Structure 1
């Protein structure tokens, strides 16, 4: 064993927020997914569970990137003050050493929204658009800003069960983005007539929030709220209505999310019209995309997104002098 003098860097959530730019993140993800993705370079997430404690890992080795690594998150639900903390550990392909640690809490929201916008940018027709938002939390907030960076929004209409939250969300959109925004009294009212539909909030009781007959022909749907078998967000009629479905992690979305499992149980055929995000970005599905009227992007998240975002943020934070060099050393096994 030999000891390295290489000091890894730490990037806090505040530093990540200071250097993050939506367009840079979206371009980085589009570039990453346009490259060939070897089958084992971004494997499915793994979860270790014992009692009320769980630990999840999402590893990835992006093709063409300098860094590789994994996001790790965990929670001991029996703790006095339970909560989830996230960290992305980056290794340097040039040295094989640990290069840095990035706080993954805010980054997870950034990467999910940026990936959705990267997909929507290729899926949705160009031009001014009305956006319907189901949900008013962090994911809905970040997605609205990410989508606004790739499309000219003429109106944002939000539905959330609480009137005050709808009003607060709409006011923030107008203040931050300069886009007219308002709340709607129902999900259907928000969605009908919308060009873009963001589903970013599961309902209480895991009942679907979005139905296919609400969607106008030509609408593009982004669905991010159902990521495991027990969760529901969209009705099976949405799956049936969409002519093309793009998934960030194809098999995981189709086989391990509650919405798609419900559609399968209802006898709806969707495998032949479902494709991977890499196929969208590489141009491999340009022909079926041209003939599709109603389109959907559905995601569960992946380590590839985490590592691509962490690399971008680490580099920017170091350049801006906002990364903290840690007074630690790791032993290197030769």
Structure 2
């Protein structure tokens, strides 16, 4: 039996960044999603709200793992120091005890990009590709790096409303990934001729930023920017064009994201085109995947991804001596 973690430990954001590797996270997520997943083990997120204060909880019990737990985040309306703090609390399957608290600020970006890359690795042909990136923020940056861990890129083209930020993004991609990168003056220009299109920047007024007639035949769309009913990223024409839709939390993707709600209101029937990320990883739809000429991946994120990546980081932090033992002891109810 593996040695128990006692007392519980804390893994800081700096420690998480030091031990994290894209390849490790992508393979861990692919392995987890390929195993049988019970719906009760990966329930939808819950959000408590009261007078402007909110608390979000994303629990999960990953199959075949040592740890289970939940990510928590919240913000108080009356706070004098506005901002959101994230934590993943991990429980040990072998002892039922709280094993660790992992700073999850970086984990959210890590797990979202690693999950998208895990899907891209199953959806994109194994050949050099041209990547278009709509957005220049943290999520866009992490996705470019995660994608580069599983595919070779001949060029990366980026558009975002801020000229300075898109130039900085292109320079960082060229320097960090050794991939030719340039900017585009519009989203349409960036997308032209792209093999893979990443949507990682909702518009400020929640209008679509990507349209189906911009996309070349055979291109893969990865959309991460519309995760709740109020948000928009891709136009309904992108949904209509798609012949295969993959969702990480399929019911939430299809029923609770602004893009899909808009497509449904427009009379577009897409449920028959949709499969879950678990089905993609398990291979049960391999023939459909191979036949798809216009695949779309949409992500809303889930606790399973948080817990899998947090476990990976905890394990590596313990091996590297970067986990801090806490001077606490929880009472156990028998």
Q: Does 1:184 align with 2:184?
A: yes
Partner in structure 1 of residue 16 of structure 2 = 16
Offset of residue 6 of structure 1: 2.6
Offset of residue 63 of structure 1: 0.6
Partner in structure 2 of residue 303 of structure 1 = 303
Partner in structure 2 of residue 38 of structure 1 = 38
Partner in structure 1 of residue 318 of structure 2 = 318
Q: Does 1:248 align with 2:244?
A: no
The 2-side partners of 1:332 and 1:234 are apart by 49
Partner in structure 1 of residue 67 of structure 2 = 67
Offset of residue 284 of structure 1: 0.8
Offset of residue 275 of structure 1: 0.5
Q: Is the 8 A contact 1:124 1:220 kept in 2?
A: yes
Offset of residue 79 of structure 1: 1.4
Q: Is the 8 A contact 1:70 1:89 kept in 2?
A: yes
1:301-333: CA deviation from partner (whole Å, max 9, x where unpaired):
000000000000000000001110101100111
Specify the SS of the correspondent of 2:39. Answer: coil
What residue ranges of structure 1 are gaps of 5+ in the alignment?
none
TM-score, length-scaled by structure 2? 0.98
1:285-310: CA deviation from partner (whole Å, max 9, x where unpaired):
11111111011110100000000000
- Size of the aligned set, in residue pairs, is 331
The 2-side partners of 1:19 and 1:115 are apart by 18
The 2-side partners of 1:77 and 1:331 are apart by 32
The 1-side partners of 2:100 and 2:145 are apart by 28
Q: Does 1:289 align with 2:278?
A: no
Q: Does 1:275 align with 2:280?
A: no
The 1-side partners of 2:178 and 2:21 are apart by 18
Offset of residue 39 of structure 1: 1.5
Q: Is the 8 A contact 2:5 2:99 kept in 1?
A: no
The 1-side partners of 2:45 and 2:168 are apart by 35
Q: Is the 8 A contact 1:194 1:219 kept in 2?
A: yes
The 1-side partners of 2:251 and 2:47 are apart by 17
Offset of residue 227 of structure 1: 0.4
The 2-side partners of 1:307 and 1:135 are apart by 27
Offset of residue 80 of structure 1: 1.7
Partner in structure 1 of residue 210 of structure 2 = 210
Partner in structure 1 of residue 330 of structure 2 = 330
Taking the TM superposition and a 5 Å limit, the aligned residue runs for 1:130-149 are 130-149=130-149
The 2-side partners of 1:78 and 1:204 are apart by 25
Alignment RMSD:
1.0
Specify the SS of the correspondent of 2:90. Answer: strand
Specify the SS of the correspondent of 2:227. Answer: coil
Partner in structure 1 of residue 155 of structure 2 = 155
Q: Is the 8 A contact 1:26 1:115 kept in 2?
A: yes
Q: Does 1:235 align with 2:200?
A: no
Offset of residue 5 of structure 1: 9.6
Specify the SS of the correspondent of 2:226. Answer: coil
The 2-side partners of 1:201 and 1:77 are apart by 26
Partner in structure 1 of residue 95 of structure 2 = 95
Runs of 4+ in 1 over 4 A off after TM superposition: none
TM-score, length-scaled by structure 1? 0.98
1:183-221: CA deviation from partner (whole Å, max 9, x where unpaired):
100000000100010000100110000000111111111
